[in-house]
Structure 1
C-alpha cells in the first residue's frame, strides 16, 4: 500500500511538472520612441521643404512606432516585431532598414532567464550576425506605487542600465553651439558618435504583475517577480496591449541559429566602424556629411 501511495504521488508531481513546462503565454507590446529632438532640429533647417518634412515624419514614425509579440514560458521567451506586408518601394531603402535594425527591430530576441543569456539575430549591411551574450543584471528597486494595466494589478520598479552604443532610441543630436565648438579644434575625420549626445546610462521604470508569475518582459527587460507589462526607458515607452495565457497554438521558443556568432561588445564596435565607413563613402560621393541626420531624414 505504501509503495502504491509513493507511485501515485510521483505520478501527480510528474504531471504537475509537465504542465508547468508546457505553460506558455503570448503578449502584444506597442513600442513608441519620442523623436521630438530630431524633428525640432530638422524644422530649423531651411533646406527642408514641408513635403520633405512630411516624408521624414512618416519614415520616423515607421521606425520608432512598432508592434512586437512576446511568446514566453517559465524560463525563456522570444520577442519579435509583428510582421507586416510592405508595399513595393515602401521599405525605405538600405539606409532605412539599417537604421530600423538599430531601433529595436529586425530580429528575434531570445532570452533565457534560467541561464541568464540572450541571442538575437541581426542583419547589418547585408551580413547576418548572431549576437550571443549574458543578460544585463538589472538591479531593480521596488517602489510603492501600484496601477492596473489591462485588468492586471501592477507594481512599480526602477533600475539604472548602461546605454548601448548601437541602440539609437536614446540618442539625440548635439546642440548646434556645442557641436560648432567641438568641431573647431577636431581632426578632419569625425566618428558618427561625435555628432550625437549619448547618455552613459538611463533610468528604467517598469510595471510588472505578480498575477502572471514569470520572470519575463519585452526585449531585454527581465528579473521581476511577474510579467513586465510596461517599460519607460528614456525616450521609449513599451506598453502591453494584450495578454493570452496558454494559447491554443504554442510557439517554438528557441533562439535563432543563422549568422556569424559574435558578442555584444564586438557587434557594437563592428556597427560603429561600418557606419563611419558608410558615412565617409557618402561624403566622398559629394553628398552632405553622410551622418545620422541624413539617414533618418531620407
Structure 2
C-alpha cells in the first residue's frame, strides 16, 4: 500500500510540472450500454423504446486541450446519420453541450441550450477516489478512479486515466485526475479514447464559451423545475 501511494504521489508531481507544456486533441467514441437495459420487458407498451435502444449507434466527440484549458463537445453527425431519426447515444451524451475547463483558475463551465433557453452553467469540480487497480489501454498504463459521490451507487462513474499524458482532462465534465482519462463508464454510456494527437505543428486554440444566462448548477436545476414542473413531478413518483 505504501509503495502504491508513493507511485501515485510521484505521478502527480510529474503531472503538476508537465501539464503546462502539452496540448492536443482526443477523439472519444461513445457507446450506449444496451446490456444495462435488460430489465426492459418487451411488451406492447415499450416496443418503441426497445427499438430505439437497439437502433442506438456509436458517436464521436472531441476534447481539445492546451496548457491548463480544455474544450469538449460532440462531433457534428454525418449527413446520412442525421437523417435516421433519434439516436439515444447522442441524446444522452448531451447533443449541443459544450464543456470548458480552466484548471489554473478553477473554472468549469457547461454551455447548454434547451426549451428553457441558453445557459452557461458554473459546474462544481469533481472529486475522485483513486484505486489500486491498473491496466494497459493501448500503449498507456492506466489507473482506476471512481467519482466519490457514486461510490455507493449501482451506477458508479468509473474512469481509467493515464499519467503518461499529464493533463487533468477527460470527456464532458470529468476532469481533475492526474492524467488524461482514456476510458469512462457513466450511467448508460461508455467513452473510449480512440485517437490521440499530441503537440502537432498546428497549435490548439480554445475559445471560452460566453453566450447564455450565467447560473450555478443549483440555480439551473431550480429553473428547470419551474419550466418543466410536470416532468419533475413524474420523476418523484
TM-score (normalised: structure 2) = 0.74
Report the structure, 1 or 2, having the larger strand content: 2
- Partner residue, 1:78: 71
Runs of 5+ unmatched residues, structure 2 = 1-17
Q: Displaced runs of 4+ in structure 1, greater than 6 A? A: none
Cα deviation for residue 277 of structure 1 reads 4.5
Rate the CA distance shift 1:244–1:89 in 2: closer, same or farther, 3 A.
closer
Q: Distance in 1 between matches of 2:27 and 2:211?
A: 25
Does 1:261 find its partner at 2:214?
A: yes
Cα deviation for residue 100 of structure 1 reads 5.4
Does 1:24 find its partner at 2:23?
A: yes
- Partner residue, 2:200: 247
Q: Distance in 1 between matches of 2:144 and 2:21?
A: 29
RMSD between aligned alpha carbons?
3.6
- Partner residue, 2:159: 206
- Partner residue, 1:67: 60
- The C-alpha deviation readout for 1:13-72, integer Å capped at 9, x for no partner, is xxxxxx97563111111122324565753622x2566xx46752366x15xx43110011
Q: Is the 8 A contact 2:42 2:50 kept in 1?
A: no
Rate the CA distance shift 1:114–1:43 in 2: closer, same or farther, 3 A.
same
TM-score (normalised: structure 1) = 0.61
- Partner residue, 2:12: none
SS at match of 2:73: strand
Report the structure, 1 or 2, having the larger helix content: 1
Return the index of the structure with the highest Cα Rg.
Answer: 1
Cα deviation for residue 116 of structure 1 reads 2.3
Q: Distance in 2 between matches of 1:234 and 1:269?
A: 23
Cα deviation for residue 77 of structure 1 reads 0.6
Cα deviation for residue 200 of structure 1 reads 6.8
Aligned residue pairs, count: 218
Q: Distance in 2 between matches of 1:157 and 1:127?
A: 34
